[in-house]
């Protein structure tokens, strides 16, 4: 069990000494280890309403030195070695968090591709956690997702041929109505910042309810900005980022993401107690 107060104090001290703290987190947002505050190489460009990327090169020690703990956390040599001699990356989710002491911490999910077995360095490739919005649908009927009714299917009804084909492992499946349904009349209308936040909030809540998981991505309450243009959105089950990003950009709205950690101030409108990716929607300049 991590002592979040002590960890927050540690981060503050590292920021005071080196200007920033960079850490590696597991899939639940729990810190695994510190990463060098001044790595060998660091590229993490930030651009308004764009899903940024990170490329970071660190020294992990030679074969005569103790290896950096990030090596084991990111590269799992029990998975085997590729033909190129590279050790495969772990399949577990890992995050890189950069804390400069400001209100927003750029947070990235790792997508590294391995490293030579005898290398002294490790290059980490990662994408901004906003990239999750490229994999979550803009749910057209969120209420239909809220109370999932599952049933077990053991037959593959799509099999071509006259004979039924049984699944080797039965599937747990459920019905979901899409935007083509005659019941799909969910239209969001109002100031652009409020509408975009509502679209994100409803879709995320629906998806996490649908898979019966904790909402690890949440949306902070929006502080209304006078003069924001109105916007109408009819969710159509496309990816959230594809549906919302162009509209947000046109309306002058920014969507950013950061990892909230215990001991941080509570985000507007939320009460959190576990590490959570928090989306912020606001008009104007980057926030």
pLDDT, one tens digit per residue, over 212-242 is 889 999 999 998 889 999 999 999 999 999 9
pLDDT of the chain along its 287 residues, tens only? 899 999 999 999 999 999 999 999 999 999 999 999 999 999 998 888 999 999 999 888 766 566 778 877 887 645 444 555 555 556 788 999 999 998 889 999 997 555 555 568 888 899 999 999 999 999 988 887 777 678 888 887 666 555 667 888 888 887 777 766 655 577 899 999 999 999 999 999 999 988 888 999 999 999 888 999 999 999 999 999 999 999 999 999 999 999 999 999 999 999 999 999 999 999 976 54
Cα Rg of the chain, angstroms: 22
What is the distance between the alpha carbons of residues 103 and 110, in angstroms, rounded to a whole number? Answer: 22
CA-wise closest residue to 111 among 191, 31, 56: 56
Q: What rounded mean pLDDT belongs to the chain?
A: 85
Ramachandran bin of 49, using left for φ above 0, alpha for ψ from -120 to 50, beta for the remaining angles: left
Does the predicted model carry a pTM greater than 0.75?
A: yes
pLDDT, one tens digit per residue, over 50-77 is 999 999 998 887 665 667 788 778 876 4
What is the distance between the alpha carbons of residues 63 and 25, in angstroms, rounded to a whole number? Answer: 25
Strands 217-219 and 276-283 turn out to be: parallel
Burial 132-152 (b: 16+ CB within 10 A, else e): bbeebbbbbbbebbeeeeeee
- 32 Cβ neighbours under 8 A, 6+ residues apart: 23, 24, 25, 26, 69, 70, 73, 94
pLDDT at 46: 84
């Amino acid at each position: 069990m991590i002592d979040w107060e002590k960890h927050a104090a540690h981060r503050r001290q590292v920021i005071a000494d080196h200007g920033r703290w960079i850490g590696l987190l597991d899939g639940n947002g729990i810190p695994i280890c510190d990463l060098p505050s001044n790595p060998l190489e660091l590229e993490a460009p930030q651009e308004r309403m764009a899903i940024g990327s990170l490329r970071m090169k660190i020294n992990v020690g030679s074969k005569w030195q103790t290896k950096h703990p990030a090596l084991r956390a990111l590269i799992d040599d029990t998975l085997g070695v590729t033909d190129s001699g590279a050790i495969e990356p772990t399949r577990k989710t890992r995050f890189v968090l950069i804390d400069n002491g400001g209100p927003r911490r750029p947070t990235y999910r790792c997508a590294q591709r391995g490293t030579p077995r005898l290398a002294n360095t490790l290059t980490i490739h990662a994408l901004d956690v906003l990239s999750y919005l490229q994999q979550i649908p803009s749910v057209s009927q969120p209420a239909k997702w809220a109370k999932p009714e599952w049933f077990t299917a053991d037959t593959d009804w799509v099999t071509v041929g006259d004979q039924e084909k049984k699944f080797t492992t039965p599937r747990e499946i459920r019905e979901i109505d899409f935007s083509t349904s005659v019941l799909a009349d969910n239209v969001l209308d109002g100031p652009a910042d409020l509408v975009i936040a509502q679209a994100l909030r409803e879709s995320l809540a629906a998806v996490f309810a649908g898979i019966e998981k904790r909402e690890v991505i949440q949306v902070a309450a929006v502080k209304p900005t006078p003069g924001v243009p109105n916007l109408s959105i009819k969710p159509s089950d496309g990816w959230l980022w594809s549906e919302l990003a162009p509209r947000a950009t046109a309306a002058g709205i920014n969507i950013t993401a950061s990892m909230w950690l215990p001991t941080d101030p509570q985000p507007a409108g939320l009460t959190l107690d576990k590490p959570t990716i928090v989306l912020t929607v606001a008009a104007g300049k980057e926030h």
